[in-house]
Amino acid sequence: MEAALVAHDLVRVLGDRRVLDGVSLTAAPGHRIGLIGENGAGKSTLLRVLAGVDRPDRGSVERPADLGYLHQEMPFDPAATVAEVVDDGLAGAREDLAELDRLGALLAEDEGLFDAYSARLELAELHDAWDADRRAKIVLDGLGLAGVEHSRRLGELSGGQRGRLALAALLVRRPSAVLLDEPTNHLDDDAAGFLEEQVRGLPGAVVVASHDRAFLDAVCTDIVDLDPAVDGPVRFGGNYTGYLAQKRADRARWERRHAEEQEEIAALRDSLGVTTHRVAPDRGPRDHEKMGYGHRAGRVQNSISRRVRNAARRLAELEHAQVPAPPPPLRFRPDALAGPAPDEVLVSLRDVRVPGRLTVERLDVPDTARLLVTGENGAGKSTLLHVLAGRIEVPGVRRLPDLRVGLLIQDTEFDSPDRTARRTYAAAGAGAVPLESLGLLGKRDVDKPVGELSAGQRRRLALAILVANPPQLLLLDEPTNHLSPTLCDELEDALGPGPGAIVVAAHDRRLRARWRGGELRVHNGRAEPV
């Protein structure tokens, strides 16, 4: 009953851009494939085509009839209730059981129904139909929805609750193939861990697009990288950690292959220039050579001409099908965060209170601080960063005079939406470091008006401005949102060295696991050191 999900040579063009260019993919039952790549690489587009929501311009997809697709918008009316969504997830299991009862009652009279009964039994076992109602309660609890009344309408729920409910309905249904687009959005640590267990227990194929590196590490049996590669999208066997090691080795081979081809092309061009020059202005024979000159000259001429033809043929082949240079990887490489005199406190907080949002009894941020702020959504992490930045003025805050502070907020907007990214970057005083050299925006985006950039691209531009013109105190609110997994790793590596203070508020589980500085936890509006 379980079937593979197979895509053949998919091409999808959106506007003037080929988002998918000859992508093929096989997801067999038991395999859980993670799709990674930069924003715009085609992850969500590929999922939509696999699901049948979007049609490819070329290529084909073979999909199981029982396929589940989790995307960003719930396929339910806002007037629908939580109970109706859960019932929809249970409908398949209940149908299996009802059909088994019907066929079982008819088997005594008609043995020809045995094959139909066996097929339905296999489907019921795949869906674990007998345990579906109990599983629904476990899934709702595990995703943090136990306290949500089943009579509530979807329009009354928060965006996070609606996303978790859609995920719960899909897990309860247990389809034979599952497509997930950023499934850990809106999940806390416990819910994300629960989801990992559930996904590992699904019987069929899973294809997931995710920026959550911890999730990719815990769940995936394979990784497909949609970023540019010499032979197109590449599939790696193993989880995200294994992919990183393989990716470094593959890129080194690509760079070496490109360099060797370029050296051969240069040598052939040089050889052809020299050889052609030697063939053309041939000198005449000397007196003592005249007897054998014609014979020897002909042989030499033929030999040289043959070498020229061979070299020219090889050069034409290389120039036609040469390996392109690997695109420069996105980089986050600030030269150094500026810092005042060593061991100086930049900001100190004493008995600070933001009514209803945050309480901090004591906090000192020295010039070399590396501080991670953790806590559940809404606990007050962003409020703390705004207090440190001086955007929320409250008593009890002492700041170094003329302190230069940079704050990366979650929802970035710019004053002049018609100004291009390049001009916005230069106007912020960051022009000394070329925008393209930071790799936070692609070449095709640097000359777009910032109003046309996506939310993630605007955050990257804001981050680029902070990197190129580093402050004394750098405050980053969920900096890995909207970044590819690879760039997240590079960002984390860049947060370690150099002077200057860095305070990061993050829910990113991998970033927190790798953090080597201090930690401050915010719980119910109260900030305390860990």
Mean pLDDT for 419-437 is 83
Which one has a higher pLDDT value, 465 or 49?
49
In one letter, which amino acid is 431?
A: G
Among candidates 347, 348, 353, which has minimal Cα distance to 527? 353
Specify the pLDDT at position 497: 58
Mean pLDDT for 381-406 is 93
Looking up tokens 């992919």 gives 243
- CA–CA distance, 428 with 355 (Å, rounded to integer): 34
Which one has a higher pLDDT value, 24 or 297?
24
pLDDT tens-digit series, residues 491-503: 777 776 556 789 9
The C-alpha angle 70, 54, 207, rounded to 5 degrees, equals 40
- Kindly indicate the confidence band of residue 8, based on its pLDDT and cuts at 50, 70 and 90: very high
To the nearest 10 degrees (0 to 180), the angle between helices 132-142 and 82-107 is 160
Which has the minimum average pLDDT: 107-116, 241-250, 401-410, 474-483?
A: 107-116
Instruction: Return mean pLDDT, the chain.
Output: 84
Backbone dihedral angles phi then psi of residue 116, each to the nearest 5 degrees: -65, -40
Mean pLDDT for 30-43 is 88
Which has the minimum average pLDDT: 24-38, 307-321, 513-527?
A: 307-321
- CA–CA distance, 344 with 500 (Å, rounded to integer): 10
pLDDT tens-digit series, residues 230-255: 566 778 889 998 988 888 888 888 88
Specify the pLDDT at position 229: 64
Specify the pLDDT at position 444: 81
pLDDT tens-digit series, residues 122-160: 878 877 888 888 999 999 999 999 989 999 999 998 888
R_g over Cα of the chain: 31
Specify the pLDDT at position 99: 86
- Kindly indicate the confidence band of residue 213, based on its pLDDT and cuts at 50, 70 and 90: very high
Q: Could you say which of 3.20.20.140, 3.90.1280.10, 3.40.50.300, 3.90.600.10 is the CATH number of the domain covering 1-66+176-238? A: 3.40.50.300
**Sign of the dihedral defined by the CA atoms of residues 499, 505, 508, 512, in that order:** positive
Specify the pLDDT at position 336: 46
CATH architecture of 345-529: 3-Layer(aba) Sandwich (3.40)
Which tokens belong to 330?
């996105």
**CATH topology match: 76-174 vs 345-529:** yes
For residues 527 and 521, is the Cβ–Cβ distance under 8 A? yes
Which has the minimum average pLDDT: 25-29, 46-50, 486-490?
A: 486-490
Torsion from C-alpha of 267, 270, 274, 276, nearest 10 degrees: 100
Helix (H, G, I), strand (E, B) or coil at 524: coil
| CA of residue 232 relative to chain centroid, distance | 17
- CA–CA distance, 377 with 381 (Å, rounded to integer): 8
- CA–CA distance, 321 with 324 (Å, rounded to integer): 9
pTM of the model: 0.75
Helix (H, G, I), strand (E, B) or coil at 324: coil
| Sequence-separated (6 or more) residues with CB below 8 Å from residue 117 | 100, 103, 104, 107
Specify the pLDDT at position 181: 92
Specify the pLDDT at position 470: 78
Is 60 exceeded by the pLDDT of residue 279? no
Is 90 exceeded by the pLDDT of residue 301? no
pLDDT tens-digit series, residues 163-179: 899 999 999 988 889 99
pLDDT tens-digit series, residues 63-81: 998 899 987 556 678 889 9
Q: Which CATH superfamily is domain 76-174 in?
A: P-loop containing nucleotide triphosphate hydrolases (3.40.50.300)
In one letter, which amino acid is 260?
A: E
Write a three-state SS string for 24-51.
EEEECCCCEEEEECCCCCCHHHHHHHHH
Beta strands in 114-239 (DSSP E): 177-181, 205-209, 222-225, 234-237
Which tokens belong to 151?
């009579």
For residues 367 and 344, is the Cβ–Cβ distance under 8 A? yes
Q: How far is CA 484 from CA 19, 20, 181, 413, 490, in A?
A: 16, 18, 14, 21, 10
Residue 332 burial (C-beta neighbours within 10 Å; 0-12, 13-18, 19+) = buried
| Sequence-separated (6 or more) residues with CB below 8 Å from residue 502 | 337, 369, 370, 371, 474, 475, 476, 495, 517
Which one has a higher pLDDT value, 227 or 389?
389
Mean pLDDT for 366-370 is 88
Among candidates 76, 29, 69, which has minimal Cα distance to 46? 69
pLDDT tens-digit series, residues 176-188: 899 999 999 888 8
pLDDT tens-digit series, residues 324-367: 787 666 554 444 455 555 568 999 999 999 998 999 999 999 98
- CA–CA distance, 460 with 314 (Å, rounded to integer): 44
Task: Tell me the domain boundaries of the chain.
Answer: 1-66+176-238, 76-174, 345-529
